[in-house]
Amino acid sequence: MSATPIPDQVPGQFTLVLHTHLPWLAHHGRWPVGEEWLYQSWSAAYLPLFRVLRTLAAEDRRGMLTLGMTPVVAAQLDDPYCLDGMHRWLANWQLRALEATTLPEPLASFGIREYEEAGRAIEEFSTLWRHGVSPLLRELIDAGTVELLGGPLAHPFQPLLNPRLREFALREGLADAGQRFAHTPSGIWAPECAYAPGMEHGYAAAGVDHFMVDGPSLHGETALGRPVGETDVVAFGRDLQVSYRVWSPKSGYPGHAAYRDFHTYDHVTGLKPARVTGRNVDSDTKAPYDPQRADKAIDAHVADFVGVVRQRLISESERIGRPAHVVAAFDTELFGHWWYEGPVWLERLLRALPEAGVRVGTLRDALAGGFVGAPVELPPSSWGSGKDWQVWAGEKVADLVQLNAEVVDTALSTVDKALAQTNTAPTRDLVADQILRETLLTVSSDWPFMVSKDSAADYARYRAHLHAHATREIADALASGRRDAAERLAAGWNRADGLFGALDARRLP
């Protein structure tokens, strides 16, 4: 029996980019929106993704993917309170699975598999994650398995942000990554892939030499990275033809009938024991999940995606007359949280691509390999609906845009005055620090996104106004000369919002 022939090496390079982000959820509600969202994403997406990456690293596979990790999600994955909460959540998951084993079939068999999966997660979490995500990710970066992308503190929609706060959030965010991972990123995932003309100069000043935009920002010309304006800062565009094969507004692999259904719960145990079954099938009539059926679908979708990437590299290289670069980019939480089978698909894909003659590398590898074209002027853009700013600046969120502007003005003027009075002090001003911390949480891009998409909109408005209230409350006390009251208020809010411990208001430009 002859060996399977090895496919010809295709020109160019393929890069997979994952963007890992959740808003600050610790201490702000549990269910249906709040810490539960964090723990579900951690157990279903982050744990299995790092399991995959550690396996690939152990095989000395380098340049497997470019991983964006926002400072706000890293803060939660390192936070002792969140680590304790996650451990309890995993134990509760195992108890719920145990309860399922006592129920009638097919739920009992499903419970057995879930019980084993929860046990594996508990063991892994207890041994590998006890000090948070930082040591794990640092190992993967050191091994060359992943390239780290950073980002500004608390994920603000940068085009609408006061330039002073925009610069501060970016520099502090990059420094935060440097402290956690012993690597300061030179590439970022700009929150929401949002861009306004001129932002490239701020990136260059902060030491950023490449960033992500969506394909339409480059008018669909994503086959090469493009220096922006007169700078050396390179924009890489998401290839929608390839990316949408996996996850699109209307279709994609996760909706296949064999995969686990995200929306269908068993109301006794809270587990998800059904498969998608069909697009128009009611939850109570969905078929039981069948792992073997799902496994066959994973293999089919790996083969399909490899074929799509090969063909895209060949056709784009022919079109531009030189080896092309193809970037597929997704939210990390798609793989495992939204699409249960996603992590397995990822591992098989990252093995299958090189076997199919596809060169896999990071964005940093693409820069080093010369996959860069002519300079370009980018339009105001994002990866949201319409590829413009409407999700974060449209009529539905006009009140939040106004709120953000007012809160930022209050915060900056108050902090300026406070620092002017204490500029001879050798220590930090913890009141000013907390004002900026609450301001950054107020202007998180998550809140207008959730309102525009009508996804837990009430929670999103509550959070935006809560952090705005905290900012104003502390600032008012400080402005009226009640320094002691301002210190008490800042300390109180810090108990819930104590993330970014190294944030230092004295570095505000």
Q: Could you tell me where the DSSP H helices lie in 369-429?
A: 390-393, 398-421
The alpha carbon of 192 is separated from its chain's Cα centroid by a whole number of angstroms, namely 10
Amino acid at 265: Y
Residue 224's φ and ψ, nearest 5 degrees, are -145, 150
Q: Of the listed 192, 200, 261, 473, which one is catalytic?
A: 192
CA-based max dimension of the chain: 86
Q: Of the listed 36, 266, 295, 331, which one is catalytic?
A: 331
**3-class SS of residue 485:** helix
The DSSP annotation for 213-230 comes to E-GGGGTT--SSBEEBTT
Tokens 């709120």, located at residue: 403
* Burial environment of residue 139 by CB neighbours within 10 A (0 to 12, 13 to 18, 19 or more): middle
409 included as an active-site residue: no
**Positive or negative CA dihedral for 250, 252, 256, 260?**
negative
Tokens 């007169």, located at residue: 230
Q: Report how far residue 97's alpha carbon sits from residue 7's, in angstroms, rounded to the nearest whole number.
A: 44
Q: Could you tell me where the DSSP H helices lie in 356-482?
A: 363-368, 390-393, 398-421, 430-442, 446-452, 457-479
The DSSP annotation for 72-132 comes to HHHHHHH-HHHHHHHHHHHHHHHHHHHHHTTSPTTHHHHHHHHHHHHHHHHHHHHHHSTT-
Distances (CA, A) of 189 to 152, 181, 279: 9, 17, 33
- Show the tokens assigned to 87: 């451990």
Is residue 86 within 8 A of residue 39, CB to CB? The reply is: yes
Amino acid at 445: S
**Cis omega (within 30 of 0) for bond into 106:** yes
Is residue 24 within 8 A of residue 497, CB to CB? The reply is: yes
504 included as an active-site residue: no
Active site residues: 192, 331
